Amino acid sequence: MPVTHFITHQINKEAQKPAAMVATATSEAETDDYCHLVMSQLKGILVQRASKCYGCFNPEVTRVKGLTLNWLNGQQSFLSWTKKISEQFADMMDNTELEIDGYLAFATEELADTDKLYIFHLREKSNICLTADMQLSESRILDFSNTGFGLCIDTSALKKEQEEGRRSEEKYFTFSFGRGDKAIQKLFSEFAGFIDTLDTEQETQEFLEIVEEYAATLPETESVETKTKVIEYCVEQDKQGETVEVKTLSGQLDS
């Protein structure tokens, strides 16, 4: 599961200041062991959150979707795309009383059957370290426990939607609210053009009722085994940031 791109841009906006400030990186980070370690942490945070929403791009909010497709189609570099996203989000906060501090981290991941794009709001914290001459010194480190919003887009599904020329029924966009100011997180969700097409709580309840009804028709041993398989499948789908596909689940139960 290699990380193919990783870059961060610093963003700051004080509540009483009219303009947000962005300090953009001049180049992407090396996709080395540090990069993979950071992404492993961030993906784990995204998976474990209960606040995930599943959906797609709002057809009426085209700015971020259009820029993203331009990058995916080779019309601009990943670096250029991330700068535009960061700067345009900062512009959206101008003349508001909202505040933000930290970094916008952008990353892509190449999987066996799909490609994914991630954006996270990262924060730092102070820590104490030992220098080379054994003296105590202050350092700054990423505060993973204080990670803000996170999103994941299945870019393969997004490109397929563009190629077919019609709105995809796939829920290829996952948005997760994290720690921090909910107003900022809501603003970024709206800026990104995310639209929630899935009533998670209702669909989960309906799905569980169907599973219970089906399991009740089976012998006791088979009923327990079926429920176990369903739980394992659902947990694995959640880890991958994917929704439950009934056809796939049915095939696993038959195997």
How many Cβ atoms are within 10 Å of 147's Cβ, its own excluded? 23
The encoded tokens of residue 21 equal 């400030």
- HSE at residue 233, side-chain half, CA atoms within 13 A, is 19
CA gap 232, 93 in Å, rounded: 42
In this prediction, residue 241 carries a pLDDT of 47
The predicted pLDDT at position 255 comes to 63
Question: pTM value?
Answer: 0.77
What tokens were used for 133? Answer: 């001459």
- Predicted local distance difference test score (pLDDT) of residue 17: 87
Which contiguous run of DSSP H or E holds residue 9? strand 3-13
Q: What is the pLDDT of residue 252?
A: 66
Domain chopping of the chain, boundaries: 3-196, 200-254
Amino acid identity of residue 193, one-letter, is G
Q: What average pLDDT values come out for the chain (255 residues) when binned by 10 residues?
A: 92 91 96 93 92 90 96 97 98 91 97 95 91 88 94 96 85 89 90 79 69 83 82 67 62 66
For 92, half-sphere exposure in the C-beta direction (CA atoms, 13 angstrom radius) is: 20
Distance, CA of 111 to CA of 79 (rounded, Å): 21
The answer to whether 143 and 127 have CB atoms below 8 angstroms apart is no
Q: Are the beta carbons of 170 and 157 closer than 8 angstroms?
A: yes
Would you state the pLDDT for residue 39? 96
Q: Which residues contact 176 (CB under 8 A, 6 or more apart)?
A: 46, 49, 51, 52, 53, 149, 150, 151
Can you tell me the distance from the alpha carbon of 50 to that of 171, in angstroms, rounded to the nearest whole number?
17
